[in-house]
Structure 1
Amino acid sequence: MAEITDGYTPSIPSGHSSGSPPPPTPLRVGLIEYEDDEEEEDGVGNGVKPIGNAVKVSCIGGSKRYHFNGFEARGVCYQLDITATQDGRITVTGQRFYRLDVAVNENGEKWESSDSRELFYSFDKTEFPASAVMHKCRVNFIPPNKEIPRAKHQPGFIVRKVYDSKYKELSELVDTCYDDSKQHELNLLLAKTIATVAKESLKL
């Protein structure tokens, strides 16, 4: 999942910056959208509950965390990287996406796009309260040799490039600069988009 930030497990067809916290405007994280609400607790008493039994237990800063495959909020189930602290707070780890109006190059300039739906993927991860989840959204990963599909035929956000927030650089989804694990991650996302589009085409 991933996060779309001013500064979304990527949003895979209906189906995760280190550093600075998200701004107080609505953000999307991978498959989900959330709002930054400093007054809301991290899932305690907010109708958020983990699904099933814990699959792993870890210790961060002397505090135990229980990892689950998913959680339920407002009657909707999400399968992401979920952890719960001993006092019941539930958090989600997300992959971060960047809006073009906030991602800048090394000279501080913004990139332009011919499509307002475009986002930049990144390998940055962030953690946020599960109680902030609003709903699922869709992100399509488009290979560099393909044209951007019309929103009418392929709704949702689109990703064509990867943003490096440290070096302020852009790379293609298929590039020689990635190590094997990162390229494998991108290949899976591309394959899922292709499979989803093919499945929808059969219904037409």
Structure 2
Amino acid sequence: MIKRVFNIVKGLVTYDADREFYAKVFPDTLNRVDLMRFRKMSKTDLPEVLEIERAGYNYPWAEGVFHDCLKAAHYDCWVCEDAENKMVAFCIVSTAVGEATVLNLCISPDERKQGLGGKFMRHIIETAQDRKAESVFLEVRPSNTAAVALYESLGFNEIGMRPGYYKTENGEREDALMMAYTLLPSE
């Protein structure tokens, strides 16, 4: 119970003294991604979230979808900020009845391929485990080979396909690769 309360409070706190200290005093001891932090998304974050979403996807979510996610009881909405407090990524996860589902994970295009996706996914997995989820699910475009490779490297397995799930530039549809990660019971 104490660990759960601590994790809830930890998720609400946006100030990280260690991060700030290391960034200023020992800037060369940590890489840029190590200095990035996660915090809960708020309505005031939506302009930046929408900017990242529109830069990251050809078919972005509408603003109203983000408002609905922020209101939903079983949704975790996170943003990631760099050492200068610039938002660089966000994620929305639904957790209910023992399952966490990654609904949207978007990293600013100029921040990709630096390890942030892995860091964010480990944060999602840890949060899902804290919420007593048994599995984490997600869908990804098979053509997004970098994301598929990342998820596989973290232990996600292919569990199926959703035919015609994603829109494409040529007006056709692309399947979605369904993947799952099984969580081990926490001690």
Q: One fold, TM greater than 0.5?
A: no
Query: Which structure dedicates a bigger proportion of its chain to helix?
Result: 2
Q: Scaled by the length of structure 1, what TM-score is found?
A: 0.27
Higher relative contact order by CA 8 Å / sep ≥ 6: 1 or 2? 1
